[in-house]
């Protein structure tokens, strides 16, 4: 070993003294509490002034006290059990525990300890400890753990994704819903868990919006690895670092399967009511239609009887003798067939199909359909279409249903008892604002009383003895579903006017 010259020895001595002085000064000024303890019972040999700020004791008060007396009772045992296993010979030991302040309350400290040993005997001479207030960290840890528990127990699917859109964490609900059996899914791309359409929406809209504004919300379909679809309401959040860079994204998806099923059920229920209402309207028309069908049937019987008569006694007949009655029979049978066909069409249960429709043609059809009923009520149906009307958007059967409800109501309201005084129901179509057409059905009936006006479109509101009171309610919802409006008003000259609008087809 190289021996120091006297000169070198002096310099080393001043260096050591200087270092100790600096260290002592740092300890005195540090906001961390620096303390030295006896190895047996952890009595304070020295403590820096930070003790006053951290624990409320003055330096003089605490020196001589044993740290064991200040540990929280729950932590003492833990500390005693750990201490021998740590042994202090493998460097540093850090632990977090509660320590009693002078005013009696406990504060969380995080301490790092190391042993100072006698170089000759290797005996522990004392323990050097640096402690700091860990209350904030413990509170933050607790809050994080609480949040993590909420995250794990929520029924919503929570997924964290990295910037490269690989999954970093899925909560239990997400693992269950996505039917993930293995535990390590962290490298899975997010694309595996959303439908193709959903992924396009995420990439084109959701992620760019979350990058810009921090979040995005919308509906899309996720899918599990076993391919079944899960409709969800998704909340996408971008999480930024303190410097403002996006670090990762979180997706909170609320499973809409049950809601969608309920909506589907409601739609089905609505369709059933619509259908029932069509059957009722058809019922109202039935006696008139039966009358209308009777006419062609009697006509056909007459033609066939004529042919029968011509055959009777004649040995041979020329085609010219039979042509007229046979062609007329066929035409009449076809007309009867058309009426039946329309009735069947109208009462059949079918999914609505929105197409572009020629409104005047549809109205003419419906007028023809109601003609025999109008006749029986001494009502004249007049149609006044405007010029150059473009096609509208709608489902044919639904629009027929609306028109039929309004025309049948108008005929029933007009109900002229005398044949001389024929009432008129006028139907007209014209252009309305916002690229819409407007249909008006005007009658010469008593109009609508002020009290009835507010209830007119309520379900089951009817002033008729056998009325169901669903016609107007359904008509309004059908028109509104197509983007239009349906309303009623009284005409200044008397009578009611029901109007509805429809969007012009693009």
Applying CB under 6 A, which residues contact ligand ADP? 405, 409-410, 413, 443, 445, 448, 452, 456, 461-464, 467-473, 496
Distance CA 132, CA 110 (A): 5
- Give the residue nearest to ligand ADP (CB): 471
Beta strand ranges found along 19-174 (DSSP E): 33-37, 44-47, 93-100, 106-117, 124-133, 157-161, 167-170
DSSP H/E element including 259:
helix 257-311
C-alpha to C-alpha distances, 395 to 105, 264, 326, 473, 477, nearest whole angstrom: 75, 19, 38, 17, 13
Distance CA 353, CA 278 (A): 17
Find the shortest distance in angstroms from Cβ 291 to ligand ADP.
Answer: 21
Distance CA 469, CA 462 (A): 4
Pairing status of strand 355-357 against strand 167-170: unpaired
Task: Read off the tokens for 65.
Answer: 């006290």
Find the shortest distance in angstroms from Cβ 202 to ligand ADP.
Answer: 45
312 vs 451, which CB is nearer to ligand ADP?
Answer: 451
Distance CA 51, CA 35 (A): 9
Task: Read off the tokens for 110.
Answer: 């995080």
Find the shortest distance in angstroms from Cβ 475 to ligand ADP.
Answer: 7
- Location of structure tokens 């059920």: 265
130 vs 379, which CB is nearer to ligand ADP?
Answer: 379
Find the shortest distance in angstroms from Cβ 285 to ligand ADP.
Answer: 12
Strand order in the sheet with 486-490: 379-385, 423-432, 436-442, 496-503, 486-490
32 vs 274, which CB is nearer to ligand ADP?
Answer: 274
Find the shortest distance in angstroms from Cβ 282 to ligand ADP.
Answer: 13
54 vs 370, which CB is nearer to ligand ADP?
Answer: 370
130 vs 427, which CB is nearer to ligand ADP?
Answer: 427
C-alpha closest to that of 233 among 204, 200, 213, 206: 206
435 vs 464, which CB is nearer to ligand ADP?
Answer: 464
Distance CA 471, CA 153 (A): 48
Find the shortest distance in angstroms from Cβ 442 to ligand ADP.
Answer: 9
Find the shortest distance in angstroms from Cβ 261 to ligand ADP.
Answer: 30
Answer whether 19's CB lies under 8 Å from 41's CB: no
Find the shortest distance in angstroms from Cβ 389 to ligand ADP.
Answer: 24
236 vs 404, which CB is nearer to ligand ADP?
Answer: 404
Find the shortest distance in angstroms from Cβ 267 to ligand ADP.
Answer: 21
Find the shortest distance in angstroms from Cβ 456 to ligand ADP.
Answer: 5
Task: Read off the tokens for 14.
Answer: 């001043």
Contacts of residue 408, Cβ cutoff 8 Å, sequence gap at least 6: 281, 284, 285, 370, 373, 471
413 vs 504, which CB is nearer to ligand ADP?
Answer: 413
Instruction: Annotate 138-176 with three-state secondary structure.
Output: HHHHHHHHHHHHHHHHCCCEEEEECCCCEEEEECHHHHH
Three-class secondary structure of residue 275 per DSSP: helix
131 vs 499, which CB is nearer to ligand ADP?
Answer: 499
300 vs 402, which CB is nearer to ligand ADP?
Answer: 402
């Amino acid at each position: 070993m190289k021996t120091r010259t006297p000169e070198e020895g002096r310099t080393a001595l001043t260096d050591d003294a200087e270092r100790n002085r600096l260290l002592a000064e740092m300890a005195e000024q540090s906001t961390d509490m620096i303390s030295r303890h006896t190895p047996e019972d952890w009595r304070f040999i020295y403590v820096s002034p930070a003790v006053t700020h951290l624990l409320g004791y003055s330096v003089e008060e605490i020196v001589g006290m044993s740290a064991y007396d200040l540990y929280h009772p729950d932590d003492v045992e833990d500390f005693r059990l750990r201490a021998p296993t740590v042994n202090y010979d493998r460097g540093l030991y850090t632990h977090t525990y509660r320590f009693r302040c002078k005013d009696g309350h406990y504060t969380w400290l995080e301490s790092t300890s190391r042993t100072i040993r006698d170089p000759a005997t290797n005996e522990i001479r004392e323990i050097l400890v640096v402690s700091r207030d860990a209350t904030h960290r413990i509170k933050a840890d607790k809050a994080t753990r609480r949040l993590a528990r909420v995250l794990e127990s929520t029924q919503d699917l929570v997924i964290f994704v990295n910037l490269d859109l690989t999954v970093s964490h899925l909560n239990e609900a997400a693992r269950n819903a996505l039917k993930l059996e293995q535990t390590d899914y962290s490298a899975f791309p997010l694309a595996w868990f959303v439908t193709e359409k959903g992924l396009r929406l995420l990439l084109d809209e959701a992620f760019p919006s979350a990058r810009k504004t921090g979040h995005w919300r919308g509906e899309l379909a996720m899918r599990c690895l076993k391919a079944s679809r899960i409709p969800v309401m998704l909340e996408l959040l971008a999480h930024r670092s303190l410097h403002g860079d996006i670090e990762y994204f979180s997706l909170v998806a609320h499973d809409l399967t049950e809601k969608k099923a309920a909506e589907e059920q409601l739609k089905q229920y609505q369709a059933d009511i619509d259908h029932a209402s069509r059957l009722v309207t058809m019922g109202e028309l039935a006696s008139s239609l039966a009358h209308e069908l009777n006419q062609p049937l009697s006509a056909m019987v007459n033609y066939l009887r004529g042919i029968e008569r011509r055959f009777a006694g004649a040995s041979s007949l020329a085609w010219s003798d039979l042509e007229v009655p046979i062609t007329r029979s066929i035409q009449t049978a076809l007309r009867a067939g058309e009426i039946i066909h329309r009735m069947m069409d109208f009462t059949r249960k079918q999914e609505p199909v929105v197409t572009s429709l020629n409104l005047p043609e549809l109205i003419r059809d419906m007028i023809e359909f109601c003609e025999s009923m109008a006749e029986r009520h001494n009502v004249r149906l007049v149609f006044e279409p405007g010029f150059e009307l473009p096609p509208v958007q709608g489902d044919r059967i639904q629009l027929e249903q609306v028109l039929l409800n309004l025309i049948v109501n108008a005929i029933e309201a007009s109900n002229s008892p005398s044949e001389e005084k024929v009432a008129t129901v006028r139907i007209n179509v014209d252009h309305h604002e916002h690229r819409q057409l407007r249909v008006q059905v005007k009658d010469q009936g008593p109009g609508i009383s002020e009290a009835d006006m507010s209830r007119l479109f309520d379900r089951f509101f009817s002033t008729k003895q056998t009325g169901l009171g669903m016609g107007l309610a359904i008509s309004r919802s059908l028109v509104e579903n197509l983007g239009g409006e349906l309303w009623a008003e009284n005409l200044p000259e008397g009578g009611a006017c029901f109007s509805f609008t429809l969007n012009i087809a693009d």
